[in-house]
Amino acid sequence: MGVRGEMSRPAVFLDRDGVLNKAIVRDGRPYPPSSLDALEILPGVEEALGTLHDAGYRLVCVTNQPDVARGKIDKALVESMNARIADRLRLDGVFACYHDDNDACDCRKPKPGLLLRAAVAMDIDLGASFMVGDRWRDIEAGRSAGCRTFFVDRRYSEKRPSGYDYAVTGLGEIADILLRRAT
């Protein structure tokens, strides 16, 4: 039960770069945009998230942003990008990890810390929720948190995830799948 007597709600957790906004792909690997001007919401994302929101899902972005720890981008700029995305896409929350792998934090995907924090803060039922990502780290984080997973296959030249529940090419397919499950 929720804090105010309401039932926990399911969520769709969404990676940011490559899922919500266009990733900059160099040598087959995705990178985040480096400025607000370079931030481009992917086609169909607004419509798909509107459908999922209307169906009762909480929409939560969970994103690794290690370039902050690496000194390549200012945290305030990343937070401005996150705020722009959250506002435009009507997200219920954005949870970001600003660490690099060697920081050994519990929030950097593939660890499930961001999802677990969001679940507590927003009264989310993880077992009824889904993680959407375009990299193996996203899928592993979702599985570790007890969510079902959607792999958005962007055909990057890097390690591929395993054990995902669905492979899709975009968020429109996810909305269709989840709405069919509900009927």
Catalytic residue among 15, 67, 134, 138: 15
Q: What percent of the chain has pLDDT over 70?
A: 96
Give the predicted TM-score (pTM) of the model.
Answer: 0.94
3-state SS record for 107-123: CCCCCCHHHHHHHHHHC
| Known active-site residue 87 | no
pLDDT of residue 183: 60
Distance, in Å, from the CA atom of 51 to the CA atom of 172, rounded to the nearest integer, reads: 9
**CA-closest candidate to residue 89, choices 162, 16, 182:** 16
Q: What's the average model confidence in pLDDT over 143-163?
A: 96
**CA-closest candidate to residue 137, choices 100, 88, 168, 84:** 100
Q: How confident is the model at residue 3 (pLDDT cuts 50, 70, 90)?
A: very low
Is the Cβ–Cβ distance between 115 and 141 less than 8 Å?
Answer: yes
**CA-closest candidate to residue 85, choices 126, 117, 39:** 39
Catalytic residue among 17, 67, 134, 138: 17
Is the Cβ–Cβ distance between 9 and 57 less than 8 Å?
Answer: yes
Q: In what order do the strands lie in the sheet with 58-64?
A: 93-97, 58-64, 11-14, 130-133, 148-152, 166-168
29-31 and 24-26: which strand pairing? antiparallel
**Which tokens belong to 155?**
């055909």
Q: What's the average model confidence in pLDDT over 138-162?
A: 97
| Known active-site residue 27 | no
Q: What's the average model confidence in pLDDT over 102-111?
A: 95
Distance, in Å, from the CA atom of 15 to the CA atom of 28, rounded to the nearest integer, reads: 18
Opening angle at CA 170, ends 169 and 175, nearest 5: 125
Domains of the chain, first to last = 11-182 (3.40.50.1000)
